[in-house]
């Protein structure tokens, strides 16, 4: 009987120990010991500092090479000097005109088409008399309104004043010159002359002729 009681007590103690061990194990699994590892991100995964964006350097405007003006030719220099001299000694001289010199006579050969308003042809250029106006010399000078012809002019070439659409008056200071064909073309100027001048009729190349005193 005494042995049976001792065996029972031993079994009871062993059973309680197993239960306590089991409960401790379950408690440990339910409440795990927190890890010693830091929750802070590692250096490998840490966010790098924001990079400072540098403003792009504006490209400096490229310097275009300055154009060096072409130097004047000897002919241009000579022409400019002649024009300066003519303007100084002859107030009526105009650089709009081109001319040719043959012997002691000057022929007006061309007029710049941008010439406008009133134009007086000088009686003398480079010390020589203007004696003629070449063919088509004033052609298409549509902005000219009045032209004065010096008394030394003795001939005017054909179509000399063609397409001078706004030409309303031409004043001749000498005798009537010899005229080529269709001196005025479609231009319609009135011709004015001195009363003592010779060779004039009521018309000149189809245009009416009046005395200078009748000029408006």
Tokens linked to 11:
């079994």
Q: Please report, for the domain that includes residue 117, its CATH number.
A: 3.80.10
Look up tokens 């792009």; give the residue.
Answer: 56
Q: What are 170's strand-pairing partners?
A: 147, 191
> If you ran DSSP here, which 8-state letter would residue 184 be given?
S
Within 10 Å of residue 30's Cβ, how many Cβ atoms? 7
Question: Does residue 39 lie in a domain region?
Answer: no
205 belongs to a structural domain: yes
Count of structural domains within the chain: 1
Please tell me the pTM assigned to this model.
0.59
Please give the residue range of the domain that contains residue 201.
74-214
Residue-wise pLDDT for 58-117, tens only, equals 555 555 555 545 678 887 777 666 666 555 545 555 678 999 999 999 999 999 999 999
Residue 27 lies in a domain: no
Residues of the chain with pLDDT > 90, as a percent, come to 55
Average pLDDT rounded to a whole number, residues 1-15: 49
Residue 103: inside a domain, yes or no?
yes
Q: Is residue 178 in some structural domain?
A: yes
């Amino acid at each position: 009987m005494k042995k049976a009681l001792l065996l029972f007590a031993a079994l009871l103690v062993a059973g309680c120990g197993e239960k306590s061990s089991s409960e401790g194990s379950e408690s440990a699994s339910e409440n795990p010991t927190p890890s010693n590892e830091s929750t802070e991100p590692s250096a490998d995964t840490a966010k790098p500092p924001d990079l400072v964006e540098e403003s792009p350097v504006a490209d400096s405007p490229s310097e275009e090479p300055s154009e060096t003006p072409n130097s004047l030719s000897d002919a241009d220099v000579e022409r400019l000097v002649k024009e300066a001299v003519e303007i100084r000694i002859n107030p009526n001289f105009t650089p709009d005109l081109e001319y040719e010199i043959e012997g002691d006579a000057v022929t007006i050969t061309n007029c710049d088409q941008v010439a406008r308003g009133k134009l007086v042809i000088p009686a003398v250029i480079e010390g020589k008399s203007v004696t003629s106006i070449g063919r088509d010399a004033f052609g298409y000078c549509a902005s000219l309104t009045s032209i004065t012809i010096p008394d030394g002019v003795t001939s005017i070439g054909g179509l000399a004043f063609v397409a001078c659409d706004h030409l309303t008056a031409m004043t001749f200071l000498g005798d009537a010159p010899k005229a080529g064909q269709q001196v005025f073309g479609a231009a319609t100027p009135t011709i004015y002359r001195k009363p003592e001048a010779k060779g004039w009729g009521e018309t000149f190349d189809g245009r009416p002729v009046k005395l200078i005193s009748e000029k408006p």
